[in-house]
Amino acid sequence: MIRLYVNNLLQPSLKILLSEKQAHYLKHVMRVKDNEEITVFNGQDGVFLSQVTYQGKKDIYLIIREQLHMQKNLPPCGLAFALIKKENIDLILQKATELGVTDIFPLLTERTIIRQFNQTRAESIVIEAAEQCERSDIPTIHQITNLKTFLAHFPERFTPVYLAERILTSEKLSAQINPLFIIGPEGGFTNSESQLLQKTPDIKTLHLGETILRAETAAIAVLSAWNFRLF
C-alpha cells in the first residue's frame, strides 16, 4: 500500500487537502483512484489508514480513518559529513534514512569544495526515503556548520565517532552509546582537523579497512556495520 508523509495533525475523521505536488504524485505517478486507501504518517502521531477523495479537477483530499500503528521513533544515531558533490549527498541522505539515522549534520571543512547546501531539497529526500522504507519518523537535518563550531557545540546526547582513514585502531563501540559518525570530505580531513577531532572529549576513533573509501561509501559501510553491531 502507498505511504505518504503529510505535515498535518493526524487523527480519525480529519480531512486534509494535499499540496499540488502530492496530488500530482498520487494522481499521475501512482495512478491512485478516487476512494482508494493509502497509509499516511507525519513523524509524530503514528501511521494511519486514509481514503483518497477527488474534488473538482485538481483538489485531492485525504479522509483520515483509523490508526494502524503507534508512533515508533528509532534510537538516536547521528551522521555528520563534509559536503561533496550533489548527487553523492543525495545518496548519503537517502541511505542514511534507510539505515536508521535520526540526526544529520552537514559540515564545511578545509577541503570542502562544495560550499552550498540546499536544506529544502535535503528534507524532501529524507521524507521520500522514509516513505519508501516504511519509517514512521523523519531524520532531523541540522543547519550547515563548520567543523570547529560543530565540535565546540557537540550535542550531548551523542558519542562522537571519528572515521579515520589512516589511523589504525582496534577500538570497539559499546552497543549502549548513541553514536554520531563523523566523515570527512574528498581528500580527507587535514592534519589540523584530524588533531582537533582527536582532542574532542570522549571521542571514539574507527578505521574501516585497508582501502580508502569515498565519503558516501564510508557512510553506508559504517551505518550498516552499526546496525548489525559488527564493531
Structural domain boundaries in the chain? 3-69, 78-227
Identify whether the C-beta of residue 185 lies closer than 8 Å to the C-beta of residue 83.
yes
Cα separation values, 173 from 19, 181, 222, Å: 44, 11, 12
Sequence letter at residue 90:
D
Q: Domain 3-69 is classified in which CATH homologous superfamily?
A: Hypothetical PUA domain-like; domain 1 (2.40.240.20)
pLDDT in tens, the chain (231 residues): 999 999 999 999 999 999 999 999 999 999 999 999 999 999 999 999 999 999 988 899 999 999 999 999 999 999 999 999 999 999 999 999 999 999 999 999 999 989 999 999 999 999 999 999 999 999 999 999 999 999 999 999 999 999 987 776 767 788 899 999 999 998 899 999 999 999 999 999 998 878 889 999 999 999 999 998 766
Q: 3-69 with 78-227: one CATH topology?
A: no
What is the CATH topology of the domain spanning 78-227?
Answer: Alpha/beta knot (3.40.1280)
DSSP state of 118: -
CB atoms within 10 A of CB 200: 15
| C-alpha cell read off for 96 | 542514511
